[in-house]
Structures are given as C-alpha cells and as structure tokens.
Structure 1
Amino acid sequence: MSNVLHTLIEQASEKADAMAKNMAKTRQKLVHGQDKLNMLQTYRDECQNGMHSKASTGMTGQQLRNQTAFVGKIAEAIAQQTREVEFLNTTLIHQNTQWQEALAEQRKFEALVEREKLKQAKLENKRDQKMNDEFAARIYRVQTAGEAQ
C-alpha cells in the first residue's frame, strides 16, 4: 500500500508542478498583455491630443475623418486587448484553483502515508512493549524460582 501511495504522491506532485508552470506562463502572458493594453491606451490618448491640437490650428475635413477613423481602429484594438487581458485573468484564476486542488490531493496522500507510518510505529511499540513485558516476567520467574530453592 505504501508504494502505491508514494506513486500517487509523486503523480500529484508532478501534476501540481505542471500546473504551477502553466500558471507562470499565463501570468507572463497577462503581464505582456497588460503592458500592450497600456501602450495602446497611451498611444490613443496621444493621437487624440494630437488631433485636437491639429484641429485648432486648421485641419481639413478629410484629415479629421482619417484621424478619427485611425483613433477608432486604436479603440478597437484596445477593446480586443481588454478582452484578451480579461480572458487571461479568468484563466489564471481557474488555473490557480486547479493548482490548489492538486496540492490538496498531494497533501491528502501525504497524510495517508503519515498515518500509515504512525500506525506502524504504534504496532512496533506494542510489540516492543510486549517483548519487554515477557522478558521482565521471565526474569521475575527466574529470580523467584531461584529464591524458592
């Protein structure tokens, strides 16, 4: 039984390690995605500010439409990137839950092994105590038999 539990612990540990690696990859993608989102938002703000300053100094209707369309494309990219960041956040939460469950499973198997060790230690202590009691009884019988003569 102990070998089976050790195998299960090893498998649970490998599963938890793999999940931790996946979480690290997702976290890295999330940081990269958030950086990209921040960059797009900054770029959009700069384009809008530039459009306002150009509009005040004189801009044709066509230039204004082009600039507005360009800012709209950036807004679409921001919306798409926001969805990507939200998806990665949700994925990370889900992966964290799975990782916690894998760790709990590993700890459960480790607790079973520990219980089995304690059980074996108690049995061994009982055997030792029984042997000591028998030995003490034998010594007592030998001593009392010797005194009786």
Structure 2
Amino acid sequence: MSNVLQILIEQASEKADNLARGMANTQQKLVQGQDKLNMLQTYRDECEGGMHNKASTGMTGQQLRNQLAFVGKIAQAIEQQSREIEFLNTTLAHQRTQWQEALAEQRKFEALVEREKLKQAKLENKRDQKMNDEFAARIYRVHTAGEPS
C-alpha cells in the first residue's frame, strides 16, 4: 500500500509543479501585458498632448480628424489590452485554485503515508513489548524454578 501511496504522492507533486509552472507563465504574461497597457496609455496621453499643442498652433480639419482617428485606434488597443489583462487575471486565479487543490491532494496522501508509518511503528513497539514481556516471564520462571523451596 505504501508504494501505491508513494506513486500517488509523486503524481500529485508533479501535477502541483506543472500547475506552478503554468501559474508562473501566466504571471509573466500578465506583467508583460500590464507593461504593454501602460505603454499604450502613455503613448495615447502623449498623442493627445501633442494634438492639443498642434491644435493651438494651427491644425487643419483633416489633420485633426486623422489625429483623432489615430488616438481612437490607440484607445481600442488599450481596451483590447485591458480585456487581455482581465482574462489573464481570471486564468491566474483559476490556476491558483487548481494548484492549491493539487497541493492539498499531495498533503492528503502524505498524511496517509505518515499514518501508516505510525501504525507500523505502534505494531512494532507492541511486538517488541510482547517479546520483552515473554522474555521477562521466562526469566522469572527460570529464576523461580531454580530456587529451592
């Protein structure tokens, strides 16, 4: 039984490790996505600032429309990136739950192994105690049988 439990522990450990690697990968993508979002927001702010500066110094209607369309495209990219980050956050939360469940399963199997070890140790101690009691009884019998009455 212990070998089976050891195999189950190894499988649960491998599963937890794989899930942890998946979480790390998702976390890395999340950081990269957040960096990209920050870059897009900064770029949009710079474009809007530049547009206001150009508008104050003189800008044709066509240039203004083009600039507004460009800023609109950046806003769409920001929205799409925000949805990607939301998706990654949801994915990470789900992966974290799966990882915690895998660790709990591994701990459950480890607890079973530990209980089995304790059970075996108690049985061994009981056998040792029984042998010691029998040995002491024999010595007592031999000792009392050898004494003159």
1:40-83: CA deviations, max 9, x gaps?
Answer: 00000000000001000100000000000000000000000000
- Match in the other structure for 2:63: 63
**Alignment-mate amino acid for residue 32 of structure 1:** Q
Using the size of structure 1 for normalisation, the TM-score is 0.99
Provide the identity percentage.
Answer: 85
> CA-atom RMSD, angstroms?
0.6
Unaligned runs of 5+ in 2: none
The count of residues paired between Structure 1 and Structure 2 equals 149
Using the size of structure 2 for normalisation, the TM-score is 0.99
Distance 1:35 1:148 in 2: 97
- Match in the other structure for 2:114: 114
Q: How far is 1:98 from its partner?
A: 0.3
Secondary structure of the equivalent of 2:147? Answer: helix
Distance 1:97 1:38 in 2: 28
Distance 2:90 2:80 in 1: 15
Distance 1:32 1:11 in 2: 32
Distance 2:82 2:38 in 1: 10
Q: How far is 1:148 from its partner?
A: 3.1
1:89-140: CA deviations, max 9, x gaps?
Answer: 1100100000000000000000000000000000000000000000000000
Verify: 1:102 aligned to 2:87, yes or no: no
- Match in the other structure for 1:83: 83
Distance 2:101 2:29 in 1: 23
- Match in the other structure for 1:46: 46
Q: How far is 1:17 from its partner?
A: 0.3
Distance 1:59 1:42 in 2: 23
